[in-house]
Structure 1
Amino acid sequence: MTTAEPLRPDLARELITLAEQSAARRAQRLRNQLDAIHLGQGRHADHASAKVLRRILADHDCWPGHRLVGPDAARAAWSIALHSNDEPDFQRAAAVLLRRAVQADDAPVQHWAHLHDRALINNGDNQEFGTQFFLGATGIELCPVREPTALNQRRASVGLPPAAVALEKMSHRLASMRAGQDSPTVVLAGAP
């Protein structure tokens, strides 16, 4: 992947700002620091961020990858799409464009695997790469996976560690976030 100056630094700044604001809200939510009004405002802000990303996708007819916006902003775009849970059709469309960017060596395959899984889960399907978790009665649990016996092979094919390692890492991250020991960053299910 290229590390040259991005073609659209203006879009890069916009995406990074939106993703940072969203991450701060999610961190507060994980720490139970938001009341119902702030939760609603956060959902509205996430929807607005998705609208900005949707405009960028439409204007450029491609994923805002490393060449267009640089690696940090490409990661920000991924985070925005990943957290657009109220818009499963948008997530699916974004995953298609992200897959194309991966094939063009313009985005990390791990980002696509996470977004692909999130879109599957949000559409009621089993995930493929085991990147999505939920907080169950006994702690962090893996969302349903298709063909679980081949999960670690699929994870390895996209550069992800075994599912048990990711599950342990997520458990530790959640515990430290709730204890306030971590910086206010978002906990993404198995984020690369």
Structure 2
Amino acid sequence: MTSDEPQRPDLARELIARATESAAHRAAHVRGQLDAVQLGRARHADHANTKVLRRILAEYDWPGHCLVGPDAARAAWSIALHSDYDPAFQRAATTLLGRAVQDGDALVQHWAHLYDRALVTSGRDQEYGTQLLLHADGIELCPLRAPESVDTRRATVRLPPIAVAVKAMRRRYAPDGSADESPTVVLAGAA
């Protein structure tokens, strides 16, 4: 085994498969392509993914680059990020991811996104401006603590200025006129 190969390729495959399926569900949801049954299945998948990640965290700590490789580490982050129904789990995952960042085994940008998401799902203002609400008519930044210094905080976690990130998200999620006008709100992350 080379040093570039993950220690647990089996976990890597599982995390990537789960995150890929969930990402497809979220993309369909944003485009208004999920009926109530499909939306229920997507929520069930998020719960199942959280359960699997919880087991992995209990056994291995954060599944970082050494254990599962960069792609699966990103998948684990995505699963934790979308565990909105379980704020306590998100906070615990944030702590473990933070330790992995300190050990050089995970990306600080992932930690910042998860930290913000855990704050938002707990009803608090975010720190780094990574979380946005997607509406049928555009996007809106979730409440932000001390907006005047957000770019300074973003720089410490290697994120671009907030104006650049919001502009990119607006381009990515620009209403194209094909979405229905229902007040669908989805929490999304901005780089």
TM above 0.5, yes or no, is yes
Query: Are 1:92 and 2:91 counterparts?
Result: yes
1:76-155 to structure 2, matched below 5 A, reads 76-136=75-135, 139-155=138-154
Residue 175 of structure 1 deviates from its aligned partner by: 2.5
Deviation string, structure 1 residues 50-72 (Cα, Å, up to 9, x no partner): 10000000011x10000000000
On the 8 A contact 2:133/2:142 being kept in 1, the answer is yes
Q: Unpaired runs of 5+ in structure 1?
A: 181-186
On the 8 A contact 1:95/1:116 being kept in 2, the answer is yes
Distance 1:101 1:4 in 2: 17
Distance 1:53 1:99 in 2: 16
Q: Unpaired runs of 5+ in structure 2?
A: 180-186
1:1-150 to structure 2, matched below 5 A, reads 4-60=4-60, 62-136=61-135, 139-150=138-149
Distance 1:22 1:179 in 2: 23
Distance 1:188 1:134 in 2: 6
On the 8 A contact 2:138/2:174 being kept in 1, the answer is no
Q: Per the alignment, in what secondary structure is the counterpart of residue 53 of structure 2?
A: helix
Deviation string, structure 1 residues 63-97 (Cα, Å, up to 9, x no partner): 00000000000000000000011010000000000
Aligned in 2, Cα 1:177/1:28: closer, same or farther, shift over 3 Å? farther
TM-score (norm 2): 0.90
Which residue identity lines up with residue 50 of structure 2 in the other structure? A
Q: Per the alignment, in what secondary structure is the counterpart of residue 189 of structure 2?
A: coil
Q: Per the alignment, in what secondary structure is the counterpart of residue 134 of structure 1?
A: strand
Report how many aligned residue pairs link the two structures. 182
Q: CA RMSD of the aligned region, Å?
A: 1.9
Residue 30 of structure 1 deviates from its aligned partner by: 0.9
Percent identity at matched positions?
Answer: 63
Residue 177 of structure 1 deviates from its aligned partner by: 8.7
1:177-192 to structure 2, matched below 5 A, reads 188-191=188-191
Distance 2:137 2:35 in 1: 25
TM-score (norm 1): 0.90
Distance 1:132 1:40 in 2: 23
On the 8 A contact 2:112/2:128 being kept in 1, the answer is yes
Distance 1:125 1:190 in 2: 18
Aligned in 2, Cα 1:179/1:103: closer, same or farther, shift over 3 Å? farther
Dislocated runs of 4+, deviation >6 Å? 176-180
Residue 139 of structure 1 deviates from its aligned partner by: 2.1
Residue 138 of structure 1 deviates from its aligned partner by: 5.7
On the 8 A contact 1:63/1:97 being kept in 2, the answer is yes
